[in-house]
Amino acid sequence: MNAQSIMLGLVQGLTEFLPVSSSGHLGLAKAAMGVGDMTIAYDVTLHVATVLAVIIFFARDLISLLGEWFYGFFNKNARNWDGWRFGWAVIVGSAVTCPLGIMLAPYAEAASANTLWISCGFWITGLLLASARFITEGDKKIRIIDGAFVGFVQGLAVMPGVSRSGTTIWAGSMAGLSREDAFKFSFLLSVPAIVGATFFEARKLGGYDAFLLALPDGWLQGAVIAFLTGLASLLLLRKLVLSDRWWLFSVYCMLMGAVSVIFSLVAE
């Protein structure tokens, strides 16, 4: 299992932040390696590794925005700052994501073992990314309603093959945010969602001790690889989003959708 753990860590790190759906790639990788549901705890561990990459990547923004948000409770003028707006947008977006994600979780888990469902998710992602080519960059300041909209889309992205980063950046762009703000908000919103999913999955496995026992050999090496490749993926995606070339991943997602169908037919 050691080599499989490392391979899954590499897949997670490379695909978690690029708009290509890490859940879809992990589902295909597990099907190809015959791993199955025994790696649910490891899936969560890999997501923790990549959320740490987000926290480090956005450390300066997080400190600045959190400071501005807290200051907004004591100074009315601070309520016009980005931190106040981003803070409440993340809170409202997370409040929308949470119940929707919990409701869809059983369906997502079942779909992750079905390559045909995964292919549908890839095609949905591909179509949304292709449409991003025609979205004019906005300059609006983020609002609570924008947080709710992006949070709703993030909740839907729990389905395998549907890229969380791709759909949330698309949603932010559709709401009229600048590319920089759409990119930033997408990943700030991901932190509470991933942390919440970690505790949710840990409880399903029977608590912290049972969670640790469910981890496969090589989990630490895989987590480190996911963390490092996650940082590299964030750097790449930011560059592509700001240069308005991230929609090119639509071609890759369409191809992966076709590969998923072929894999399903061959597996039968």
- Which H or E run contains 237? helix 219-242
By CB atoms closer than 10 A (0-12, 13-18, 19+), residue 161 is buried
Q: What CA–CA distance (Å, rounded) separates 211 from 207?
A: 6
- pLDDT tens by residue, the chain, 268 residues: 577 777 877 887 888 888 988 777 777 777 777 665 545 677 778 878 888 999 999 999 999 999 999 999 999 999 999 999 999 999 999 999 999 988 998 898 888 778 888 899 999 999 999 999 899 999 999 999 999 999 999 999 989 889 999 999 999 999 999 999 999 999 999 999 888 877 776 676 666 667 777 777 777 888 899 899 999 999 999 999 999 999 889 999 999 888 888 877 776 5
End-to-end CA distance of the chain: give it in Å, rounded: 25
What's the DSSP call for residue 97? H
**Cα maximum dimension of the chain:** 63
Angle at CA of residue 29, ends 47 and 17, nearest 5°: 40
